[in-house]
Chain A
Amino acid sequence: MLIKNSSEIPYSEVTPKSIYMNRRHFLAAAPAAFLAGRELLSPRRAAAAGKLGSLAKSPYSTSEEPTSIDVVTRYNNFYEFGTSKSDPARNATRFKTSPWTVSVEGDVAKPRKFSMDDIMKLAPLEQRVYRHRCVEAWSIVVPWVGYSLNALLKEVEPTSKAKYVAFESYWNLSQMPLAQPDMAGISFPYVEGLRLDEAMHPLALLCVGMYGDPLPPQDGAPVRLVVPWKYGFKSIKSIVKIKLTGNQPPATWNMANAHEYGFYSNVNPNVDHPRWSQKMEQRLPSLFKNHPTQMFNGYGDQVASLYAGMDLKKNY
């Protein structure tokens, strides 16, 4: 297990091995004279130690080395802050996320508005190192912080009518002037959905931090979803509303292009995106698309049973 207690070195202090691996790969592949002798990346100096304090280990963590925090905070799909990957890091710096409430409503016995304080105290925070696979065929490994979403859902007691869970992102033009459909090409607010059994699966993470610290704005502060066996766009950011429903809720990318982005969007190397193959992925910041993609992003042992008997080519 590579998970360390916070008394040991926090992840923000570790120079990820992936950078070294990438460097070697690079040197081997590129004309050697061109890059020879270059010190590609110097060891990262420690940022402040994790602000989230001591975090429980999780058996769901992968032993793979986390991607550098530099990559995870500079390369984001968060269309509310611009459509280019480098936009959110620039445009979200002044995103005001306090006070914040998450309304949990719909087919539940005890609808409730949770403050961020409530959310932070609802269950013990765990560090979970998950693989994160984008539908665009790149991937990262992130030490998220949070707890299983089911802890929150159990609080509100879903009724027997509840079959799905709908999620909604914060949307406010004064804070997000770029979040307009005619600019971004998608509708706002950003919405996503899961089947109730997917949402109750312990791997589905209600996430409040990463690398030992609270979430940075561009990564979905202050609270987001992380569903590691699905393509990244299912892991909705900056959540303000969670609604339990009887019918399958709408999902933003599915509405934008149902042909390319299905409701399920489970990571699946055997079902290509119409415009590219999903067989391989790029483990950022590698220059090569040389990492084989795994079924359910490698979480098949845990989640495959959720889809027993389903045609995953049809329900992509």
Chain B
Amino acid sequence: MLRRSWTKVLVFLLCLAPLAQLAWRFWRMDLTPNPLEFLEHFTGDWTIRFLVITLAITPLRKLLQLPDLIRFRRMIGLFAFFYGCLHFLTYLYFDKLFDLHEILKDVAKRRFNTVGFVGLCMMAPLALTSTRGWIRRLGGKRWQALHRLVYASAAAGVIHYYWLVKSDIRLPLFYGALVALLLLIRVGFWLAGRRRGILVLTPKLQADQ
């Protein structure tokens, strides 16, 4: 079923749902008493959520034996970048009124801004090289190595969130735990793969001799 073309359309629409909700709330002016804070948190929350979902695709493919989930990974990753850009734009326009001097000072001086900015920057080359053409040009191995940057980007997102909150750190810790779990599962796969690799390789080598 996951191979049907309409599933991609469905996932695309689902990914647009937060944007639709935002547009609806804009339309109704239902943006809470502090619209700036609401926009910053709304777009930030969805950025980290889409990053987590992107990171969950590979483990889910293996654990649930649903290899076709790969069809959605690029799209979901691109949506993480999209919501991240909205988040950054909110900050640039409503918070800083495009005051370049203040923005540069803010990003350079405050570690919480710096780490968020770096996290978003790391997503840019991934978005740029997400096409088939770029996979071909870079070669699968190199492309894959580059796209491991998403691990650092997700970690940066969690740290950005953790440093932002004043005292109630439960939510950032929750996302931190999710990202850590998803990365640990990869380490697990890698270790298991290596052991299996040895087991598989050994008889093969013997057979070759």
Kindly state whether residue A282 has any CB partner on chain B within 8 Å: yes
Give the nearest-CB partner of A138 in chain B.
B34
Contact in complex: A285, B34 (CB < 8 Å): yes
Residues of A within 8 A of B170 (CB): 183
Kindly state whether residue B132 has any CB partner on chain A within 8 Å: no
CA distance A80 to B166 in the complex (A): 15
CA distance A157 to B180 in the complex (A): 59
Contact in complex: B106, A277 (CB < 8 Å): yes
Residues of A within 8 A of B167 (CB): 79, 83, 184-186, 256-257
Contact in complex: A289, B95 (CB < 8 Å): yes
Query: Assuming A35-B27, A185-B168, A277-B106, is B33 touching A289 (CB within 8 A)?
Result: no
Is chain A's binding surface mostly helix, strand, loop or mixed? loop
Contact in complex: A284, B34 (CB < 8 Å): yes
Residues of B within 8 A of A71 (CB): 33
CA distance A75 to B164 in the complex (A): 19
Q: Which of B31, B105, B110 has the most C-beta atoms of chain A within 10 angstroms of its own C-beta?
A: B110
Q: Which of A262-313 contact B (CB under 8 A)?
A: 274-277, 279, 282, 284-290
Q: Which of B26, B106, B167 has the most C-beta atoms of chain A within 10 angstroms of its own C-beta?
A: B167
The size bracket of the interface on B is 20 to 34
Min Cβ gap B24→A in Å is 12
Give the nearest-CB partner of B109 in chain A.
A272
CA distance A85 to B40 in the complex (A): 14
Contact in complex: B35, A287 (CB < 8 Å): yes
Contact in complex: A34, B33 (CB < 8 Å): no
Contact in complex: A275, B27 (CB < 8 Å): no
Contact in complex: A282, B36 (CB < 8 Å): yes
From B29, B32, B36, B168, give the contact of A41 (CB < 8 A): B29
Q: Which of B27, B31, B95 has the most C-beta atoms of chain A within 10 angstroms of its own C-beta?
A: B95
What total of chain A residues lie within 8 Å of the partner, measured CB to CB? 34
Residues of A within 8 A of B163 (CB): 275
CA distance A234 to B27 in the complex (A): 36
Contact in complex: A183, B168 (CB < 8 Å): yes
Kindly state whether residue B97 has any CB partner on chain A within 8 Å: yes
Residues of B within 8 A of A41 (CB): 29
Contact in complex: B32, A287 (CB < 8 Å): no
Is chain B's binding surface mostly helix, strand, loop or mixed? helix
Min Cβ gap B108→A in Å is 12
Residues of B within 8 A of A284 (CB): 33-34
Kindly state whether residue A40 has any CB partner on chain B within 8 Å: yes
Query: Assuming A83-B167, A275-B112, A289-B96, is B106 touching A282 (CB within 8 A)?
Result: no
Kindly state whether residue B68 has any CB partner on chain A within 8 Å: no
CA distance A215 to B169 in the complex (A): 30
Residues of A within 8 A of B26 (CB): 30, 34-35
Q: Which of B31, B105, B166, B168 has the most C-beta atoms of chain A within 10 angstroms of its own C-beta?
A: B166
CA distance A257 to B175 in the complex (A): 23
Contact bitstring B29-55, A, C-beta under 8 A = 1, else 0: 101111111010000000000000000
Give the nearest-CB partner of B110 in chain A.
A275
CA distance A108 to B33 in the complex (A): 42
CA distance A38 to B170 in the complex (A): 38
CA distance A284 to B36 in the complex (A): 9
CA distance A3 to B197 in the complex (A): 81
Can you list 21 A-B pairs, Cβ within 8 angstroms, ordered by A?
A34-B27, A35-B27, A38-B27, A40-B29, A70-B33, A75-B32, A75-B33, A85-B34, A138-B34, A184-B167, A185-B166, A185-B167, A256-B167, A257-B166, A277-B102, A282-B34, A285-B33, A285-B34, A287-B35, A289-B94, A289-B97
Measured CB to CB, the residues of B under 8 A from A are 26-27, 29, 31-37, 39, 94-97, 102, 105-106, 110, 112-113, 163-164, 166-170
**14 extra A-B contacts, CB within 8 A, seeds A74-B32, A74-B33, A138-B37:** A38-B27, A75-B33, A83-B168, A184-B168, A185-B166, A185-B169, A275-B163, A275-B164, A276-B106, A282-B36, A287-B31, A288-B97, A289-B95, A289-B96
